[in-house]
Structure 1
Amino acid sequence: MIPRSSETTLQRLAKGFPIIALTGPRQSGKTTLAKHVFPNKTYVSLENPDELEFAKADPRRFLARLDRGAILDEVQRCPSLLSWLQHIVDERAVMGDFVLTGSSQFELIAGITQTLAGRVGRVELLPLNTLELKAANKLPSDLHALLLHGGYPSLYSREVSPQDWFSNYMVTYIERDVRHLIAVRDLSQFQRFVKMCAARSGQLLNLAALGADCGLSATTAREWLSVLEASYLVTRLQPHHQNFGKRLIKSPKLYFLDTGLMAWLLGIRDADSLDTHASRGALFETFVVSELMKQAFNQGQAGDLYFWRDSTGHEVDLLQQTPQGLQAIEIKSGTTFASDWTKGINKWQSLSGSTLQPKIIFGGVGGYEREGCQAVGWQEIATNFTKK
């Protein structure tokens, strides 16, 4: 397996919590990672019909046989187990006793919040980031290749094309997850909805407009978007709440969490098509946002990412909360520095009074300082933005 940055986080949390929850999208490597970090624990998959039936019918006996703890895979399929786990871990008081994995936030996180509060250390595992790919000597040297592949581990451990893999991934996702979470009568309409979301990655979210373009009500669009969020396919980036003397945009921005899936949904199949595609800039912006979120999640931290935009159009792509204060980050897909790249950052600094040096992540290579900003190439994100 490709070593994951969150290994040390899981080991750390296992010393202080009786239960570890490892969540993330399907095929992000949760099961492989859990087995690797906890090799001596019994592995039980609740996607096995026999195990699931046993867990639902007699949860006490199901857990009684696991006297040394276990890895319980896709545990959200049997939420009633969480109540029984509470009693067991309270009695045994063994740290790192059970490891729970899940690919949907709805049932699992709700159950953890209500039943296992204070007993769970949580790690969210997104697909591979550049640091992990680089350490495994699998990071593409070409930015376009990385954007088209994304970060799902299977694309770096098998001889399979992104087109074949994502096609099957979407079919499996819809059949197994969407129907489990909501009643979708028209699967083709849901597929169209997902593609429309991909076309809006990096843009302000307007649920009414999104729904109208798909023939849905704003209420249905909100419900379906929540399913995509719960399954770790998309996220909403909130505007920064502090008003620096200006009227601010209050709508969130929508982002996919994997550029490979986003590119596939947009019908982009090769580097030549990507080079001239209208969504190239949005794909690069999506890559940067997801990359910074992955780095934070791998350390067991919140992403703490926002954007800033005032009513006159001034904007900073990202504001990252750091111990030193808000870090302003501009994202540019171009390969050569341009003087207008700092326009939004300069406006924000004049209003906020921030003295922290802004950063610009661009589509080129290397790093240097220009006009008071630190410019960072896409390959250097891993070493320049790891949260402390």
Structure 2
Amino acid sequence: MIERQIKEQVVKNLTYFPVVGIVGPRQVGKTTLSKIIQKNLNIPSLHLDLELDDDLYKLQNPQTYLQMHAEKCIIIDEIQRLPSLFPLLRALIDQDRRPARFIILGSASPEMIRHSSESLAGRIAYSELTPFSLLELQSTTIQQSTHWFLGGFPSALLAPSPDFSRIWLQNFIYTFIEKDIRLLGYDISIPTMDRLLKMLAHLHSAILNVSDISRSLGVSIPTVNKYLDLLEGGFLIRRLQPYFVNLGKRLVKTPKMYIRDTGILHSLASIPSYEALYANPLIGASWEGYVIEQIYRCVEPRSWNLYYYRTQVGAEVDLVLISPSGKMTCIEIKNTNTPKLSKGFHQCINDLQPHFQYVITPSSELLITAEGVIICSLLQFLKIELPKIT
């Protein structure tokens, strides 16, 4: 069993909040994590999976049923299938605000977050369960290269053969488009969403130009923005915002786009193997997105701020980290263990004057340049360097 990083946070939240939410994409391990936590609860508990007809039937009269089990911690899986529960949960909690009354799990977040923020404000603490992170895999024999290529979804990463991984990833994408989005009540064009996803795979790590996407797809800009919101709310993409301050320079102020899981990225881009990735022009962008996502999974998103920085003349820093204490770290990401720093990187450092400067590579040994730039591997940064820059 691979220990999940957010487990401790969820358990801690259960000691104070009446409701604890675990959100994340489908098949990421939310149910498995909830059952592990359930075994260690010191109170009686009950698990309801709303994808099972029998459990859904139990909630035909939800108030009566939930009040029958008021002394238990009730775990409700795939709660977005029954959003009408949120106002009822609020009423039941206001009658008895004991900690750990409910654990709710949800796969697609936009509708779920909207309902919970209206109904459960001040009563709930959320944690996002991501696919396996690189740090979570340190107790296993899974290599960084395998994790990078296959991504972190358990069924893809732990499949007995590459063929099964490929099939699972293809089915995941199909299910997300065909089932998950529509289940939330969104009316989308399946062919358009499919084309958009494949287009985004080739725009991975690029500055997002919604107008160009709109023209290529033959749909309106509002439609493209709506679909991007759905993909981001469904945990498939991430829009990295630009960092800009009044530096007297013309700066890029448009977000960059990343497909969060590199296994999904490589599936959409029809890259069949790790060896084929090295012959693909997408490799640099893929590595950049992989590093950024692993860093996201190691920091508290409500306390840290992550950006990129780019001037209109093309000088760029791949990642700007602002710690909870306000310290700035500039990071360049290179898919080589012998990186050469560009003039543009040094210009950005001069502009921003960060507290720390790093170049992250796949597996190079720690090295500090004459200019004070620390060159290290991704694993070295996550395990040793990241705690130093808070």
Aligned residue runs from structure 1 range 247-326, under 5 A: 247-296=250-299, 299=300, 301=302, 304-322=305-323, 323-326=325-328
**Per-residue deviation, 1:47:** 1.4
Match of 2:75 in 1: 71
Contact 1:293/1:303 (<8 A) preserved: no
Report the Cα distance in structure 1 between the residues aligned to 2:51 and 2:124, rounded to whole angstroms: 22
Contact 1:19/1:98 (<8 A) preserved: yes
Q: Which runs of 5+ in 2 are unaligned?
A: none
Report the Cα distance in structure 2 between the residues aligned to 1:60 and 1:379, rounded to whole angstroms: 49
Q: Could you say if the C-alpha distance between residues 58 and 164 of structure 1 is closer, same or farther in structure 2, counting changes exceeding 3 Å?
A: same
**Per-residue deviation, 1:206:** 0.9
Contact 1:362/1:375 (<8 A) preserved: yes
Contact 2:152/2:261 (<8 A) preserved: yes
More displaced 10-residue stretch of structure 1: 33-42 or 306-315: 33-42
Match of 1:201 in 2: 204
Match of 2:166 in 1: 163
The answer as to 2:107 corresponding to 1:103 is yes
The answer as to 2:362 corresponding to 1:363 is yes
Q: Could you say if the C-alpha distance between residues 20 and 284 of structure 1 is closer, same or farther in structure 2, counting changes exceeding 3 Å?
A: same
Match of 1:35 in 2: 35
Match of 1:334 in 2: 336
Report the Cα distance in structure 2 between the residues aligned to 1:302 and 1:237, rounded to whole angstroms: 16
Report the Cα distance in structure 1 between the residues aligned to 2:296 and 2:301, rounded to whole angstroms: 11
The answer as to 2:215 corresponding to 1:212 is yes
Report the Cα distance in structure 1 between the residues aligned to 2:367 and 2:319, rounded to whole angstroms: 19
Match of 2:6 in 1: 6
CA deviation vs aligned residue, 1:34-85 (integer Å, no higher than 9, x gap): 1112225211011123433543x42212322332121111111111211111
CA deviation vs aligned residue, 1:287-313 (integer Å, no higher than 9, x gap): 0111111112xx574552111112221
**Per-residue deviation, 1:385:** 2.4
Match of 2:129 in 1: 125
Report the Cα distance in structure 2 between the residues aligned to 1:159 and 1:11, rounded to whole angstroms: 32
Contact 1:328/1:345 (<8 A) preserved: no
Q: Could you say if the C-alpha distance between residues 112 and 241 of structure 1 is closer, same or farther in structure 2, counting changes exceeding 3 Å?
A: farther
Match of 1:350 in 2: 350
Identity across matched positions, percent: 30
**Per-residue deviation, 1:225:** 1.2
Match of 2:235 in 1: 232
Match of 2:22 in 1: 22
- Which of residues 177, 181, 200 is equivalent to 1:178? 181
Report the Cα distance in structure 1 between the residues aligned to 2:13 and 2:180, rounded to whole angstroms: 29
Contact 1:125/1:294 (<8 A) preserved: no
Query: Which secondary structure state, in structure 1, belongs to the residue aligned with residue 177 of structure 2?
Result: helix
Report the Cα distance in structure 2 between the residues aligned to 1:256 and 1:329, rounded to whole angstroms: 19
Match of 1:48 in 2: 52
CA deviation vs aligned residue, 1:327-380 (integer Å, no higher than 9, x gap): 11111112212142xx344223322333x1211111333322123111121232
Contact 1:79/1:111 (<8 A) preserved: yes
More displaced 10-residue stretch of structure 1: 344-353 or 250-259: 344-353
CA RMSD in angstroms, aligned pairs only: 1.9
Match of 1:83 in 2: 87
Return the TM-score normalized by structure 2: 0.91
Return the TM-score normalized by structure 1: 0.92
Number of residue pairs aligned between Structure 1 and Structure 2: 378
The answer as to 2:382 corresponding to 1:382 is yes
